[in-house]
Amino acid sequence: MTVAASLDWRERAAGLFPGGVNSPVRAYQAVGGEPPLLVRGNGAFVWDEAGRRYIDYVGAFGPLLLGHGAVAEAIATAAALGGPFGVTSPGEVRLAEMIRMRMPSVERVRFVNSGTEAAMSALRVARAATGRDLIVKFEGGYHGHADSLLVAAGSGAATLSIPDSAGVTQSVAAQTLVATYNDLVSVEALLQAHPGQVAAVIVEPVAANMGVVAPLSGFLAGLRELSTRAGALLIFDEVITGFRVAPGGAQELYGVRPDLTVLGKIIGGGLPVGAYGGRAELMDLVAPSGPVYQAGTLSGHPVVMAAGEATLTQLTPDAYAKIEKESARLEAGLQVDGACVARVGSLLTLFFREQQPRNFREAKASDTRGFARFFHSMLDAGVVLPPSQFEAWFVSAGHDSSVIDATLEAARG
């Protein structure tokens, strides 16, 4: 394809989609320039329409822990069988059992079509279970774009400097209280200021939408304790961390058991998916076994379930060990002036500041222009990074030692 042809695609997209994209984080607004027109991926690599190969650290923004194309066969096989059938199918049962085996707190689960839907529905369950209206979230925490969760919502909005979305009513926004990540005192203060009114505390157990910010020692256990004491549910949004930072997600890695868990991304193997689950008596509030209505025409789609099942099946202990080893090599080798690396497993951010941030305010005090320069030098060298200082790089099973070496070579300029 010629340069003119690729310009033509961009122009057509610009006329068709707001900002030329179907999700704002895909735009290169924060780093400048135009995204490459990518048409194919395999393992750690993606190719543009001119046949140029890049190393990919976007990983579809989280789902592709196995790399591109790893479950293509399972998808093709399932697609050939037709469906969905309008009844519960074996693929849903198999994937749910695999999830519960790895994440025992998820006693019952409901599949939906996006992480947004899953987080929104988990809040509905929490409000129904407690009879309370308020929720506590963290500044810079992203839980999808449901109205009540679009307050101080991290990367996408932060990149575009939209602190809170237009179109969210005051009355809805007022029911969302915002605490500071890694600051238990800020949580306790909100719970005390609103006694008996907070339905749930929702948190990314490893913050990954303000760049990667690990929980400080005792933070998650402290949230568990504060929530229980206040009669509020603790919801872990493991849409990114689930099945990535450990086979059983962040709740396994840090040994803290939430009441409800929000899932997505990896469990769909690159196809649209979400799920929420938790204690049986909470999930039994969901229709048709209980009064919380939540439904989805395409929920538990057999092709998506097959992609998720194939993904979890390939995520063996060996696969995790290899991903961890290569991620650690990437962390150790990335030495960039004025920047530091924050990493939890295969999630990594190169922050253009002296020290790893502990919360969103500190993350925002990064040299975003320095990041933009680095981003473009990497792109020129054939490495695609997420186009924002406030996103994680996603390492996959396809990133073998030669890929990591090539990345480090590119970073040395």
Ligand X SMILES: *Cc1c(COP(=O)(O)O)cnc(C)c1O
Tokens of 27: 């735009």
Nearest CA to 142 out of 126, 112, 163, 128 is that of 163
Interface residue with ligand X among 96, 122, 190, 239 (CB under 6 A) is 239
Residues forming a β-bridge with 395: none
Closer to ligand X by CB, 391 or 411: give it. 391
Interface residue with ligand X among 110, 127, 137, 143 (CB under 6 A) is 143
- Among the listed residues 28, 265, 276, 320, the single catalytic one is 265
Residues forming a β-bridge with 203: 236
User: For residues 189-228, which are near ligand X according to CB under 6 A?
Assistant: 204, 209
Decide if residue 139 touches ligand X (CB under 6 A). no
Q: In this structure, are strands 347-351 and 340-344 parallel, antiparallel, or unpaired?
A: antiparallel
Q: What is the CA radius of gyration of the chain?
A: 21
Closest residue to ligand X in the complex (CB): 115
Whether 276 is a known active-site residue: answer no
Q: In the bound complex, what is the minimum distance in angstroms from residue 148's beta carbon to ligand X?
A: 13
Interface residue with ligand X among 210, 213, 240, 315 (CB under 6 A) is 240
User: For residues 86-115, which are near ligand X according to CB under 6 A?
Assistant: 114-115
CA-angle at 392, arms to 390 and 394, nearest 5°: 160
Cβ neighbours of residue 102 closer than 8 Å, sequence gap 6 or more: 243, 247, 248, 249, 252, 312
Q: In the bound complex, what is the minimum distance in angstroms from residue 262's beta carbon to ligand X?
A: 6
Let me know how many helices (H) and strands (E) the chain has, helices first: 15, 14
- Among the listed residues 142, 181, 254, 320, the single catalytic one is 142
According to DSSP, residue 286 is labeled B
Interface residue with ligand X among 44, 78, 119, 411 (CB under 6 A) is 119
Element (H, E) at 137: strand 134-138
Q: In the bound complex, what is the minimum distance in angstroms from residue 115's beta carbon to ligand X?
A: 2
Instruction: For residues 4 and 15, give the distance between their C-alpha atoms in angstroms, rounded to a whole number.
Output: 17
Whether 265 is a known active-site residue: answer yes
Please identify, among the stretches 138-146, 164-172, 289-297, 402-410, the one whose residues bind ligand X according to the rule CB under 6 A: 138-146
The answer to whether 295 and 86 have CB atoms below 8 angstroms apart is no
User: For residues 267-296, which are near ligand X according to CB under 6 A?
Assistant: 274
Q: In the bound complex, what is the minimum distance in angstroms from residue 268's beta carbon to ligand X?
A: 8
Whether 137 is a known active-site residue: answer no
Tokens of 155: 């990367």
Closer to ligand X by CB, 125 or 403: give it. 125
Residues annotated as catalytic are 142, 237, 265
Q: Residues interacting with ligand X, by CB under 6 A?
A: 62, 114-116, 119, 142-144, 204, 209, 237, 239-240, 264, 274
